[in-house]
Structure 1
Amino acid sequence: MSKVVSNKTILPAGGGAFDLPNLSVGIFLNDQPSHRFAHGSKLSVHKPLSRNQGWILPAGSDGICEYDDELEFVMVNIDDGIAAEFGLGKAFEFDPIIGDIDPLLLNLSLTASTALGAGTLYRETMQRALAAQIVETIKPAPEWHAGIEDARLRKVLDYIHDNLAEDLSLSGMADIAAMSATHFAKAFKKEVGSSPLQYVIAARLELASVLLKTSELTVAEVAWRVGYQDLSRFGQHFKRKYGATPAAFRAG
């Protein structure tokens, strides 16, 4: 028999089948080295979980959760309407996340679990914050992360693509990676296959090609949007990569 102490639920050793109609996040509050888990019709697998690890499961999930020790956990079920606001309605499917939980998502889940008995406004505000972070957690990794194992370099790549219009510098990127400029330049080229400068130029020109085909921005505005202050230099780089001037590329 389960019991609720404050905002947490305590279950006796054993576990069994579960059926969760809503998008849900659960956080284990004690270690469960013998935890076993199955989602849907898949076979149960041994999945040890420690305190502050847990799950994110899509709406309509069912399966098996078993453990050999008394379990303490908190769970937040996201209201269907709030989930739908963030594109996480019942028709949205994603692979369950079992194990480590994003630190911000962990804190939001623990806080949201205390709001279950609070007023509607506070509870819904916390659920919206949680749903927004779930979207960030489950969205596919950007294509530029492919093959890059070093999290520091992935962070730099995200920074580059988020700031292509800015005056990017080697020292600034190295600071984000928490490396010396020399170490960063060598690590970047080894992992990515090009120097930081070459990568930035390629990323800017790729974005420019998309903007030229999909927007009504002038060539000068496109150049500015991708970080070129010198229109002539932009044209030279673009023609070198695409074999045509920006205007001809757009017309073709």
Structure 2
Amino acid sequence: MPDVVSTRTVLPAGGGAYALPSLTLGIFLNDQPGHRLAHGSSQAAHRPLSKNQGWILPAGSEGLCEYDAELEFVSVSLSHTLLEEFGIGRSFEFEAVVGALDPLLLSLSLSADSFEGNGALYRDTMQRALAAQLIQSVKPLPAWNAGIEDARLRRVLDHIHDNLAKDLSLTAMAELAAMSSTHFSKAFKKALGQSPLQYVIKARLERASVLLKTTQLSVAEVAWRCGYQDLSRFGQHFKRLYGATPAVFRSG
């Protein structure tokens, strides 16, 4: 992709899910008092935005954007190649910006679609000025140390093991770690070598194996106590990990 891609879009009232492969800035060109945004989750929160306000979201961001009136906006995406010139790698994470934008960044972003028409030197200079100003406008998130001693990770793991029978939420885990859901999922996998979902499934099945060997609870009751409402799914997951059905495992 080009180093900077600028697009102007008009959308009818409504909204929906979004997924951003590149670091992207959005600027609303009309007021949206009913705007709602979810970043890294499916629960949208009311985030009213006025004309010339917007958001900056890291590469890989997913979520939901909703609005009650026709929306006109500009989006500006920066390539990984351009960001690497400033020492910013693909895994660069920062606190999402939603609301007022830096005035110089706003001006550069609104004029980004004109960079191409004034010669290569002008284009390259202005694109790098935009990238530099954007990077200065965001707050990098602290790295999650991969060690199990990290207090945030320990809080999440304690929460998981204390609530294996409940409907565990990625959003709740991310909040305990003080991260967005997207950043949390990446950091969790980096720290433990598996996604939160994979970790929870294994923890539930390990607890189930103990209950099957040490109690007289029925297989259905064990499944329920380990967070499975679907007995068939419990059996499939259990056999995949232990090579036997719960009943055979208990009798073996």
Q: TM-score, normalised by structure 1?
A: 0.49
Select the structure with the greater relative contact order (CA < 8 A; seq sep ≥ 6): 2
Q: TM-score, normalised by structure 2?
A: 0.49
